[in-house]
């Protein structure tokens, strides 16, 4: 994540700001420029002769992004328009959780955009293939977080710290966050986009296995028997052992974790300038640099967390086989060549 500053007074901003706390200017995040703009009247401004205004979800979803204004243009920003289902307006508890989920989703969409990955909704293609998010409350009926043909479903209860921590402990997971859920589930979508049945399928199967393996049987086996004893040798997490598609999604999510954290570290002088998301880091040389920067940074961040009495920030090991899988992800992601 970049180090943002107010264009009027130079005050540092966080990605979630809607107002500069120093000069009190109204702010909006503009995805095409990947920067904040000052909204002169609190709602609008002009960029290169084009009027931009707040996303229509600025109140409903707490969205701080801006969009181009004009006849025939969408009223929702690039992130909000991908959400097809949200809680009822009368469900105040779910509405608050929805705002938190959308905040995490916007961070993922920005990273995907900076990596140059294609981001398109179901309405953007004639076939209906594309991304959509169902952000649902499990208060009155069960909701299963997951992915199906581009549709990412999230149980908004994951935004509750107590609920999420209980699940993290019961499922023996070292890491569980809203951001992590989105990165994992969107990994399934990009398996379809980047691998599918095309030229990369054979290499995918060499590394991860056959993604067409019976999923329900694999799920039952995983929760009945648990992961194999030697899972740490070949997988980034125990859940990655469940099925080839989950192995890919876990590896993809960790790739996003690493790239975004390095980007933030570079913005604040804690990693080389070349570690930013927009830097040309294609090929094996680029991936080697990413890991060369990541290993000492993650070690230092873990020690800092321990100094504050917290658990490790990145409680994972990256053995050779996991790095080989991640290198494959990198080869498809950076740069994306269509």
Given a contact cutoff of 8 angstroms between Cβ atoms, the answer to whether 286 and 272 are in contact is no
pLDDT confidence band for 334 (50 / 70 / 90): confident
Rounded CA separation 315/173 (Å): 10
Tell me the β-bridge partners of 5: 12
Percent of all residues in the chain with a pLDDT value above 70, rounded to a whole number: 93
Spatial distance between the Cα atoms of 58 and 80, rounded to a whole number of angstroms: 10
Nearest residue to 51 via CA among 36, 29, 68: 68
Is residue 169 predicted with pLDDT exceeding 50? Answer: no
pLDDT band at 41 (very low <50, low <70, confident <90, very high): confident
Q: What is the pLDDT averaged over residues 145-174?
A: 71
pLDDT beyond 90 at 175: no
Query: Which tens digit of pLDDT belongs to each residue from 183-230?
Result: 999 999 999 999 988 899 999 999 999 999 999 999 999 989 989 999
Nearest by Cα to 193 from 124, 288, 105, 110: 124
Report the alpha-carbon distance of residue 82 to residue 105 in Å, rounded. Answer: 10
Residues in the chain: 338
What is the enclosing helix (H) or strand (E) of 215?
helix 215-225
Q: Output phi, psi for 324, to 5 deg.
A: -65, -40
Fill in the DSSP letter of residue 55.
-
User: 274 by DSSP, 3-state: which?
Assistant: helix
Contact yes or no for 101/70 (Cβ under 8 A) = no
Q: What letter does residue 319 receive in the DSSP assignment?
A: -
Indicate if the pLDDT at residue 32 is higher than 60.
yes
At residue 338, the pLDDT reads 40
Cis peptide bond N-terminal to 335, omega within 30 = yes
Query: Between vectors from CA 183 to CA 231 and to CA 306, what angle results, nearest 5°?
Result: 65
Whose CA is closest to 263, among 250, 251, 252, 279?
A: 279
pLDDT 10s digits, 278-322: 888 989 999 999 999 999 999 999 999 999 999 999 999 999 999
pLDDT of residue 177: 87
- Domains of the chain, by residue range, sit at 4-76, 78-195, 200-337
Minimal CA–CA distance to 272: which of 281, 258, 280, 262? 262
User: Which tens digits make up the pLDDT trace of 238-265?
Assistant: 999 999 999 999 999 999 999 999 999 9
Q: What is the pLDDT of residue 298?
A: 97
The whole-number pLDDT of residue 91 equals 81
pLDDT (tens digit per residue) in 85-101: 998 888 888 888 899 99
Contact 80, 102 (CB under 8 A): yes
> Which pLDDT value is given to residue 137?
86
What's the confidence (pLDDT) of residue 160?
Answer: 60
Beta-carbon contacts of residue 258 (< 8 Å; ≥ 6 apart): 290, 294
**159 pLDDT exceeds 70?**
no
CA distance 225 to 231: 13
**Lowest model confidence (mean pLDDT) among 55-64, 169-178, 322-331:** 169-178
Give the global pTM: 0.92
Q: What is the mean pLDDT of the chain?
A: 90
pLDDT score of 209? 96
Q: Which residue has the higher pLDDT, 163 or 108?
A: 108
């Amino acid at each position: 994540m970049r180090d943002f500053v107010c264009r009027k007074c130079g005050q540092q901003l966080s990605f979630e700001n809607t107002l500069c706390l120093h000069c009190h200017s109204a702010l909006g995040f503009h995805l095409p420029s990947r920067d904040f703009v000052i909204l002169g009247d609190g709602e609008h401004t002009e960029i290169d002769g084009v009027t931009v205004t707040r996303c229509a979800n600025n109140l409903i979803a707490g969205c701080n992004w801006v969009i181009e204004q004009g006849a025939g243009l969408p009223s929702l920003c690039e992130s909000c328009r991908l959400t097809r289902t949200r809680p009822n307006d009368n469900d105040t508890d779910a509405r608050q959780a929805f705002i938190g989920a959308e905040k995490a989703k916007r961070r993922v969409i920005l990273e995907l955009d900076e990596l140059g990955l294609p981001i398109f909704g179901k309405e953007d293609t004639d076939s209906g293939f594309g991304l959509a998010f169902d952000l649902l409350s499990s208060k009155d009926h069960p909701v299963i977080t997951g992915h199906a043909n581009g549709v990412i479903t999230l149980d908004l209860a994951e935004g509750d710290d107590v609920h999420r921590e209980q699940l993290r402990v019961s499922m023996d997971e070292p890491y569980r966050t809203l951001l992590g859920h989105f990165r994992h589930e969107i990994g399934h979508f990009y398996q379809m986009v980047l691998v599918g049945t095309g030229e990369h399928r054979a290499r995918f199967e060499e590394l991860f296995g056959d993604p067409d393996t019976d999923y329900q049987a694999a799920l039952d086996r995983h929760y009945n028997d648990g992961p194999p004893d030697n899972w740490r040798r070949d997988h980034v997490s125990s859940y990655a052992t469940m099925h080839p598609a989950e192995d890919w999604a876990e590896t993809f999510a960790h790739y996003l974790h690493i790239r975004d954290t390095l980007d933030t570290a570079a913005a604040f002088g804690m990693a080389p300038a070349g570690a930013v998301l927009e830097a040309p880091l294609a090929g094996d040389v680029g991936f080697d640099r990413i890991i060369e920067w990541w290993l000492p940074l993650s070690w230092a961040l873990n020690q800092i967390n321990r100094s504050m009495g917290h658990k490790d920030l990145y409680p994972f090991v990256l053995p050779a086989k996991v790095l080989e899988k991640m290198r494959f992800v990198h080869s498809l992601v950076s740069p994306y060549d269509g």
